[in-house]
Each structure stands twice: as structure tokens, then as C-alpha cells.
Amino acid sequence: MSRTVPVPHGLPMERDAGPFDPPSRITELREAHPVSPMLFPDGHEGWLVTGYDAVRRLMADTRFSSRQDLGVVHVPYETPGMPAPTEPSPQMPGLFISMDPPDHTRLRRMLTGAFTVKRMKQLEEHIADIVERQLDELARLAPPVDLVKAFALPVPSLVICELLGVPYEDREDFQVNSARFLERDIALEEKMAAFGAMNAFLAELVTRKRAEPAEDLLSDLARHDDLSVEELTGIAFLLLLAGHETTANMLSLGTFALLEHPGQLAALREDPELLPGAVEELMRYLSVADIFYRYATEDVELGGETITKGSTVVVSLLAANHDPLRFEDAGALDVRRQARGHLSFGHGVHQCLGQQLARIEMRAGFGGLLRRFPTLALAVPADEVRLKSDMNIYGVHELPVTWTGTAG
């Protein structure tokens, strides 16, 4: 395949094609070159992978490493507008999303038991209670209300805090710090300060759990003698961050998307049996966790190109999930579609550990919201909703909503 002109300044992120569509430059690239050379802001060349098949193959191939200490271009530091690092970032103990087998396998294995479909099913009723309580509180407020603050963020925060054994009273701190950590265009020092604060809080927490274990996931982990406090802290950081930010953004952006597609919303209200499929479709359509980085540890052929050893590879899950070669009429939101097979939870050894939990939260969250608020509507024009194009996880900063009556 002939080489394209590399993308000149990092990744196009501006949602110029609409709030739910990939940036137009990304779509053009996927159509012309699903595996495309890319020029990073520091001037070195890497690859951008946007086609569904190529992304899926890449994520299943462990020759593409997730380690942060191999190359010099890394998430989250090497993002548009950020200074280019000259040194690889150090590996953080316990952060197994940034590890390769066998180190990754060792830590992930300690957690799989806690996240099985069966264990998650047992939590279902409890999660439904948490959602209902939050909806009761929402119903007591006088609209307009910011749905992010009043519903989408509290639900997954409450769930993950309870599961891990993190005191919910401490949410202000970790919600502010994790949001700052995910911001794209802030100074590295600020990002590191947020990371440091969250780390200090969690280090103290896991030390306490080790001394006085309770009935929660972090206490169970703390019972493993072969895990250091640093590793426990890293695992707690990953679970807490991954466990609330992603799902919160799905609940708020998903609600926005449904309100902007009244036909789809009406279909879902009419037939609640569509809900599990609609959740998969919203996951596909919105792909809130979009950009991931890998690093080639060998020369690998992908989509007719040779990715040479040492290259940094950026994948766009959003672009892959909107690939018309995989999903018919991929740019449309269709709650009746068979969207399973989407890559929004990743693929391969790092496939999302919390996906069953996230599905349960989303089914309960969207289901409850639509049932209890039959007249839910945006309280501002759609183009005034602030989009998170400046964050590493997409969504909306606020979602002002209104309603005229609630149902029991």
C-alpha cells in the first residue's frame, strides 16, 4: 500500500462532524488508509490505526506492548498540546493496564474472580437500589438540573466505592483529581500533582485495609502477601479511575445521544426489552474510551503495512466502531442493531475487566432514568452542551436537563 502523508500535528480530536461522530479527518484516514503513518508532535513517526479489522487484530496481538516504559510516546503525557517527553514514563507498580504478560497476567488473575458474570449478577439488585435512590434524589430537585452531577457521576462512584471499600465521603477529592488526571491540555506538573494526591490517599487506604481487613475487594487483595503496598495502590488507582469515569461519561453522553435521537428514544421507551441491545449500541456509537496506545516489540504486518519494531501505534476505537465495513450504516444510532462485537471494551488480554459491572450499571441507569422521567428533555440548545474533546475519556462536562413530571 502506498504511504500517506503523515498526520501533521498529532491526533485530530475536534468533533467537527458532530458531537457523536469521529473527527472528519479520522474518518477520511480510515477510508483511505485504515493503518496510516502519523507524525507525533515531537516529530517522530508512528502509526494511527482506525479500521475495525486492523484495530481488532492489533489488540489481540501481544507483540504490541502496553508498557509505558518502552518508548518515548505515551499516554497520558504525549497528547495534543502536551510537551513531548524525552524519557519514557516509568512503570507504575500495580497498573496492570500498562503491563504485558506475564506481569499483567499475574495481577489480572487475582481480580478475575471478583469480576465474574456470576459475582456481578449478585450485585445487580444492589446496584438497582443505588440507582433508584439516586433517582429519588434527582426527582426531589427543581429542574433544570445538571444530570452529570446529580446522577451520571454519583451512580458509578457509589458502586465502585462500595465494591472497593473506598469511603464515599472522600469522593470530592478523588473525583476532582481523577478528572484532572484525564484532562488533555493541562501542564504536566498539575497532572502529576493530581496523580500524587490520589496515590497518597489510596496508599493510606490500602495500608489500613492490610492492617484491618473489611468485607470489600481491596481488603481481599490486601490479604495477598505477595502484593506490595505500591502494587495494591496501583491496582486501587486503576479500578477507581476506570470504574467511575468511563461509566459516568457513558450515562451522561448516552442520555444526550438518546435525547438527540427522539425516534430511538421513543422505541426504547415503548419496548424496554430493547434495553440490553441499546446499551451495546450506545457503547459502540459513543466509544467514550477512544484512544489507546501500543508499542511494537517486533516488526509486524498489519493491514498491508509493516509496523517496524519500536514504533508507537495509536488506535481509535471510535473510528473502528464506526467502520462501515463492519457495521452497516455505522454512523447511525440504532437501538435495534446487533452491536455486540464492538470494540468499546477493548479486545485481547486487556479487554475491560469491569465490563459486566458497567453493563449492569448502564442498564439500571438508562432504564431507571427513562422510566421515572418520561418527559426528560435538554434544558439548553444542544450546541451549548460542553463536550469533553479536551479529555482522554469523551463525554459531556455538564448535561442540563429538565422535566415536567415524574413517574413512580
List residues near ligand HEM by CB under 6 A. 66, 96-97, 108, 238-239, 242-243, 246-247, 250, 288-289, 292, 344-346, 350, 352-354, 357-358
Pair 292, 314: CB distance under 8 Å: yes
By Cβ distance, which residue is nearest to ligand HEM? 354
Residue partners of 385: CB distance under 8 A and separation at least 6: 19, 256, 378, 396, 398, 399, 400
d(CA 72, CA 77): 10
Cα 89 to chain centroid, rounded: 21
Least distance from C-beta 258 to ligand HEM, angstroms?
A: 15
Least distance from C-beta 20 to ligand HEM, angstroms?
A: 15
Least distance from C-beta 122 to ligand HEM, angstroms?
A: 16
Quick one: 27 or 316, whose CB is closer to ligand HEM? 316
Quick one: 28 or 220, whose CB is closer to ligand HEM? 220
Pair 390, 397: CB distance under 8 Å: no
Quick one: 128 or 406, whose CB is closer to ligand HEM? 128
Task: Judge if the upstream peptide bond of residue 76 is cis by omega within 30 degrees of 0.
Answer: yes
Least distance from C-beta 377 to ligand HEM, angstroms?
A: 24
Quick one: 165 or 346, whose CB is closer to ligand HEM? 346
Quick one: 243 or 367, whose CB is closer to ligand HEM? 243
Sign of the dihedral through C-alpha 173, 174, 175, 178: positive
Q: Within 10 A of 408 (CB to CB), how many other CB atoms are there?
A: 5
Least distance from C-beta 148 to ligand HEM, angstroms?
A: 15
Angle between helices 154-164 and 171-182 (to 10 degrees): 110
Quick one: 43 or 102, whose CB is closer to ligand HEM? 102
Quick one: 24 or 355, whose CB is closer to ligand HEM? 355
Least distance from C-beta 233 to ligand HEM, angstroms?
A: 14
Burial of 49 (0-12, 13-18, 19+ CB in 10 A): buried
Least distance from C-beta 290 to ligand HEM, angstroms?
A: 9
Angle at 351 between CA 47 and CA 206, to 5 degrees: 110
Quick one: 238 or 401, whose CB is closer to ligand HEM? 238
Residue partners of 121: CB distance under 8 A and separation at least 6: none
Residue partners of 98: CB distance under 8 A and separation at least 6: 66, 67, 68, 91, 92
Q: DSSP H helical segments within 334-407, as ranges?
A: 355-372
Least distance from C-beta 149 to ligand HEM, angstroms?
A: 19
